[in-house]
Amino acid sequence: MAIKATIFKVGLQIADIDRNYYRDHALTIARHPSETDERMMVRLLAFARHAGPALAFANGLSADDEPDLWQRDLTGAIELWIDVGLPDEKIIRRACGRARRVVIYAYGGRVAELWWQQCAAKLKRIGNLAVINLSHASSRALAELAPRSRQLHCTVQEGQIWLASPDERVQVDLAVWMAGS
């Protein structure tokens, strides 16, 4: 019998001053059995940074042809494809062919840096790709905010990001490795 996903309920308040986006989201996040709290919280951060009415969690780890998050237009075309982790170059290229814009959130410290060193030259000509790296300290601190049911608040101002629970606050350090269009 297969192990089922763990369900997390999160009330996420987003105050994105940079985009003038202020909304409350009641999210149900299914954590794949092989997924860590760290990866799940990076997915949540990616949702907060790109939140909008059409952004949704996809099957990600459960399906090779789907991202972690995506935004589709009314015709079903993929406007935004978001992957978390260190995807294979072929998967990135395929995503860039299917979506108008692709964003990769890399994390993992030195491992992420080595992955980028191997992929950067091969991916630099792709115009619709953005690659963003979370510092190792930030991704580890985000993992500490991941209990079963939680209220979180995300603030984005002048490129700075804070994710806070009622008793903890994490400043997220991001580095843009590739800006994309």
Say how far apart CA 105 and CA 44 lie, in whole Å: 11
Query: What is the pLDDT at residue 84?
Result: 94
Residue-wise pLDDT tens digits, 106-140? 999 999 999 999 999 999 999 999 999 999 999 99
Average pLDDT of every residue of the chain: 90
Cα gap 172→68, rounded to integer Å:
20
The pLDDT of residue 126: 92
Domain boundaries, the chain: 6-178
> Across the beta sheet with 99-106, what order do the strands follow?
55-57, 69-72, 78-84, 99-106, 129-134, 174-178
pLDDT at 64: 67
Which superfamily, per CATH, for 6-178?
A: Restriction endonuclease-like alpha-beta roll domain (3.10.640.10)
Q: Averaged over 96-114, what is the pLDDT?
A: 95
- Per-residue pLDDT tens digits for 7-26: 888 999 999 999 999 999 99
